[in-house]
Amino acid sequence: MGEQTTTTFPQEIIDQYEGLGLDLPALFSAGHLGERMGLRIVEAAPERVVGTLPVEGNTQPYGLLHGGASAVLAETLGSVGAMLHGGPHKIAVGVDLNCTHHRAARSGLVTGVATPVHRGRSTATYEIVISDEEGRRVCTARLTCLLREVEVPAAASASAAG
């Protein structure tokens, strides 16, 4: 868990956020909860977000991956996709998350892949498939986010314009 991975962003996303004074990997991260859980976002674009989560440390009393851990992974990946879709002038706020747990994971790393189901002006919905190291589906989730306008600080806005 001590290894650090870097999130890969497409060049158009890097260009879109350039000059805004924002740290992309920090902005599109798993936050403090994800850090404590060992969640890593390895690839992030509006069309596909990929992240991993270790099973160890995220289990329930029977030693199985906790369903809430799968939900954290799913909501994180779907939210990052929605935020990237919305662009630098919108934030994504989760309004609906549902998870179906298909099989148990007892060890190793699970990988989540979020892909869009709907990307509109005010909402975005992502399907997130979480699989174990053998490629077996552990969980399928769907997240819908509300996209809300946010003001970009005037200094960042001026430096992006000129």
Q: Which positions are annotated as active-site residues?
A: 75
8 DSSP assignment: B
List the alpha helices (DSSP H) in 58-134: 67-86
Paired residues of 92 in beta bridges: 147
Which whole-number Å values give the CA distances from 40 to 1, 45, 73, 89, in the listed order?
10, 15, 9, 25
Angle at 139 between CA 136 and CA 142, to 5 degrees: 135
